[in-house]
Amino acid sequence: MLLDPAQVPPRTRSVGPHNTWINPDGTRVYLGSFTVPTITIVDTRTHEIIGEVGPFSDGVRPFTVTRDEKYVIANVDGLLGFEVALARTDRGWGGPMVHRVEARTPSERVAYLGRPAKLPHNTPSHGVNLRPDQREAWVVDGFYGYVYVYDMTVMPPAFVQAIPLFARPQDRPQPGWISFSLDGRFAYPDAGPVLDTETKRVVTRIPLTEKLIEIRFRDGSPVEAGRR
């Protein structure tokens, strides 16, 4: 946890649609609502609710789902890191939260920048994604300018590396999303750095908006898209 609950900036408590994830064959959609600690699974053919994931420890922010639809990995309000829940159990779709992964900002960065008076997106981590090979989860540190990498081949996920997004100590990148190239070679946190997913290093910097996704076209038509 980055902050004590009393230190988390006030958030709106209105409820409304926020983020979605659709499985590769388009048969199920996962729906998140702002400030709500659960994710709803809907059958896209019947439009019926078939499961609920969670509850998580607080309202769900960005989330992703493993390709095999076994786990949901979600940022939640007030947490630097992410939580893992079951997308399905022996009883059907939906399942409980099973692991809480709390990231730790390197102490020297905290000492340099101090404690935040205000957090981007009003929460410590607003951006989590899985490498296309599904072996790692990458999560952003929205105030201190890091991406943290976790091994998803074990449960609970194991810490691998903290990647600084800043070139100089005084820089203040504030990533709020993260996406990957379709081939898995590069990661794109929206603060501008491009990360090599094997070396875990910044290889270049490009101007990015918060909403970035790679789309491949063939003969003028989209044929494949990444996720964020």
- What are 108-135's pLDDT values in tens digits? 999 999 999 889 999 999 999 999 999 9
Q: Report phi then psi at 6, rounded to 5.
A: -70, -20
Q: Is the pLDDT of residue 13 over 60?
A: no
* Residue 119 lies inside a defined structural domain of this protein: yes
Name the residue among 93, 95, 108 with its Cα closest to residue 54: 95
Position 111 in a domain: yes
The range of the structural domain enclosing residue 79 comes to 5-178
Percent of the chain with pLDDT over 90: 80
In a domain, 79, yes or no: yes
**pLDDT at position 10 over 60:** no
How far, in Å, CA of 53 to CA of 93, rounded? 8
- CB atoms inside a 10 Å sphere around CB 54: 22
| Domain membership flag for residue 189 | no
In contact, 173 and 163? CB cutoff 8 Å: no
Higher pLDDT, 118 or 51: 51
DSSP state of 45: T
CATH of the domain at 148: 2.130.10.10
